[in-house]
Amino acid sequence: MTILLECIRISKAYDELKVVDDLDFRVHHGELRCLLGPNGAGKTTTIDLITGRQRVTGGVIALEGNVITHWSEQERARAGMGRKFQVPAVFRGLTVRQNLEVAYTKRVNPFQTMFTMRDKAAVERIEEVVELVNLRDRLDDRADILSHGETQWLEIAMVLVQSPRILFMDEPTAGMTVQETRKTGEIFNTLKGTHTLLVVEHDMSFVRDIAERITVMHMGKVLAEGTIGDIETNEEVKRVYLGQGGIGHA
């Protein structure tokens, strides 16, 4: 697999405090990567730096070989970076269909947007995505009556309809029931290979279900990287994060 995203010695410092410290990180096309670490390890800040929400103090970020270190957040989004935040950000007064239509269009002119929503490609893409996230029967329901899990799936769908090159998911199962978490795992496993995902997550059973490769961060650096088996048998990871019970008991 070829490299899609590359971070070379990226750092983020606030005065003397380094939140991300000379981090080297690579994600390949079609890969589902999980980013783990204790609170304060620098996981969300790393995603903020990659997506342009925060500026790096040092280092280089490249997308498909193009250096994007100084690009704005909007430029990176247009280049194919899609992000789902921990707290769902949907339009609660709109229906599921309308939320997806708004997410699909890349136009800022409201009159052009109306025509985009009637576009055959938009209809087909929305149909494809709602089938994937199990929201077909909810298309005409307002977002404010969805369950928490359905709201999370709607935001995932809003990212997916944009067909991004890489999806960043920050704790996508937060607040979900066991059944909703299981369904989310099924969604992510369906995306493997055809989509590239970077997932920050604390639910270790969910990570076990979806992860191909895991990066563990500690104090702004990469502590370990590898498969589930590599990570749960790594003594340093056990010491700082997982505990002696291993990844299944964290």
List the domain range (segments joined by +) for residue 103. Answer: 87-163
- 72, 107: one domain: no
pLDDT in tens, the chain (250 residues): 799 999 999 999 998 889 999 999 999 999 999 999 888 899 999 999 999 999 999 999 999 999 999 999 999 999 999 998 877 778 999 999 999 998 887 554 444 444 455 678 888 899 999 999 999 999 999 999 999 999 999 999 999 999 899 999 988 988 889 999 999 999 999 998 889 999 998 888 899 999 889 999 999 999 999 999 999 889 998 888 765 444 544 4
What CATH number is associated with residue 245? 3.40.50.300
Let me know whether 187 and 129 are in one domain. Answer: no
DSSP string, the chain: --EEEEEEEEEEEETTEEEEEEEEEEEETT-EEEEE-STTSSHHHHHHHHHTSS--SEEEEEETTEE-TT--HHHHHHTTEEEE-SS----TTSBHHHHHHHHH----SHHHHHHHHT-HHHHHHHHHHHHHTT-GGGTTSBGGGS-HHHHHHHHHHHHHTT--SEEEEESTTTT--HHHHHHHHHHHHHHBTTBEEEEE---HHHHHHH-SEEEEEETTEEEEEE-HHHHHT-HHHIIIII-TT-GGG-
Shared domain check, 111 and 37: no
Instruction: Indicate whether 171 and 250 sit together in one domain.
Output: yes
Of 136, 163, 190, the residue at which a domain comes to its end is 163
Say whether both 68 and 171 belong to one domain: yes
pTM over 0.85: yes
Q: Are residues 145 and 185 in the same domain?
A: no
Do 175 and 53 lie in one domain? The reply is: yes
Domain boundary among 126, 143, 163: 163
Do 115 and 236 lie in a common domain?
A: no
Q: Are residues 171 and 238 in the same domain?
A: yes
Residues 6+ positions from 87 with CB-CB distance below 8 Å: none
Q: How many domains does the chain have?
A: 2
172 shares its domain with 159 = no
